[in-house]
């Protein structure tokens, strides 16, 4: 598993997936939890509110992964100032 994170290019691709996935989860959660809440059952409403928490969490993790992989790629090319 650690070998997967040794490749900075692969981590950068995964960070893009997390950023986009987190944004989608956040938007879907907001739409269901606040605009369509009258049409949902309680379990579905709880799930929609969970998406409004999990979406930003995925965005934050993806952003940190992006920063780390960009830094590793910059250091690998030798263009560090």
E strands, 1-81, in order: none
pLDDT at 1 over 70: no
Residues 12-47 as b or e (16 or more Cβ within 10 Å = b): bebbeebbeebeebbeebeebbeeeeeeeeeeebee
Cα separation of 60 and 2, whole Å?
21
Q: What percent of the chain has pLDDT over 90?
A: 84
pLDDT at 80 over 60: no
**Where does the pLDDT of residue 2 fall: very low under 50, low under 70, confident under 90, or very high at 90 and above?**
confident
> Which pLDDT score is estimated for 63?
98
Domain boundaries defined on the chain: 9-75
Separation of alpha carbons 30 and 9, rounded Å: 32
Average pLDDT on 57-75 reads: 96
Q: What is the pLDDT of residue 18?
A: 98
């Amino acid at each position: 598993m650690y070998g997967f994170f040794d490749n900075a290019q692969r981590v950068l691709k995964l960070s893009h997936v997390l950023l986009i996935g987190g944004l989608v989860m956040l938007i879907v959660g907001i739409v269901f939890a606040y605009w369509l809440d009258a049409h949902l059952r309680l379990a579905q409403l709880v799930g929609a509110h969970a998406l409004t928490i999990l979406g930003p969490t995925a965005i934050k993790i993806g952003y940190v992964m992006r920063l780390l992989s960009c830094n590793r790629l910059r250091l690998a090319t030798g263009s560090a100032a």
